[in-house]
Each structure stands twice: as structure tokens, then as C-alpha cells.
Amino acid sequence: INKYLRGDDYPETQAKETLLSRDYLSTNEPSDEEFKNAMSVYINDIAEGLSSLPETDHRVVYRGLKLDKPALSDVLKEYTTIGNIIIDKAFMSTSPDKAWINDTILNIYLEKGHKGRILGDVAHFKGEAEMLFPPNTKLKIESIVNCGSQDFASQLSKLRLS
């Protein structure tokens, strides 16, 4: 779903099979318009299901990103420009309990009434306290701490890593 929402290559056959098995399609060879409409309804249903989960009072979550590939230089620039507002077109996975280590760790400070929801037993990685945000969630880059900076060790020691 996320690859589809971001406009990336995605396993179309698998998407069609999923939509067919869940009665969003009536044939495994839909027209482009039928497929697009079915995906839209399916994604909206997932987003509605997400919003029906209980609100949380978490104020900080973490998101690990792997941005060390040359093809991701534009994305890296987006995430390292203070003041940038990033809109994630897809569902955004975070965790209030631990940061999944990658080359970039986002500390995301949440406002009261945020739309993130704890997934519990349906989390992708079992045992992870995954908080999922709906498509088109906005993030504002307020500060950056690099591994070469004086604040890095201090900031890293504050993370609840597993």
C-alpha cells in the first residue's frame, strides 16, 4: 500500500489478489479505473479503521530511516533542512518505545490530538509498540543532530533503544 501511495513500483498482482480476496474487486483483471477506485476505497477503509483505535497520550515517537543510498539524496535533503515540512503520502510507522536503528533516527514530538494510533497485536513486527499515522501526515524539521556534533552522544543516550 505504501509503495502505491508514494508512487513507487509495487507488486500489482499481489495488490489485485488482496483486493479480490477482500471483495474490493470482482475480477483479477480490472480496468485501470476499477483498480484505482478499489485501491482508494481499500486505503480509506484502512485509514478509517486506524482512526477508530483509541487515542494515545504519547508525546514522543521515534522513526528510523535508512537514507544512506545515493538515490535517496533528495529525500535526505528534505529531512535535513530545518524548517522543511514533509508530507508522508503513505501510512507512517513509528514507535513510542524504541527507535529501530538505521542511519537516521527521527525524534517526533507530537501535539495533543495527533492522529497516531498504537496497533497492538496487529503491528508488522511482533513485539513492537508500533504507532501508525494515516497518509498525508505532516512533519516539520525543527532541529538536526549529526553523529559528528557535540550533542549527538547526549541525544543518543536519551533514546530508549532495544
DSSP string, 25-68: -S-SS--HHHHHHHHHHHHHHHHHHHHTSPP----EEEEEE---
Non-local (6+) Cβ contacts of 44 within 8 A are: none
Q: Which of 63, 73, 111, 128 is catalytic?
A: 63
Residue 130 appears among annotated catalytic residues: yes
Closest by Cα among 137, 9, 145 to 80: 145
Q: Which of 17, 29, 73, 130 is catalytic?
A: 130
Residue 63 appears among annotated catalytic residues: yes
Hey, is 143 helix, strand or coil?
coil
Q: Which of 93, 117, 143, 162 is catalytic?
A: 93
Tell me how far apart the 2 most distant CA atoms of the chain are, in Å.
59
Identify whether the C-beta of residue 20 lies closer than 8 Å to the C-beta of residue 28: yes
Catalytic residue numbers?
A: 63, 93, 130
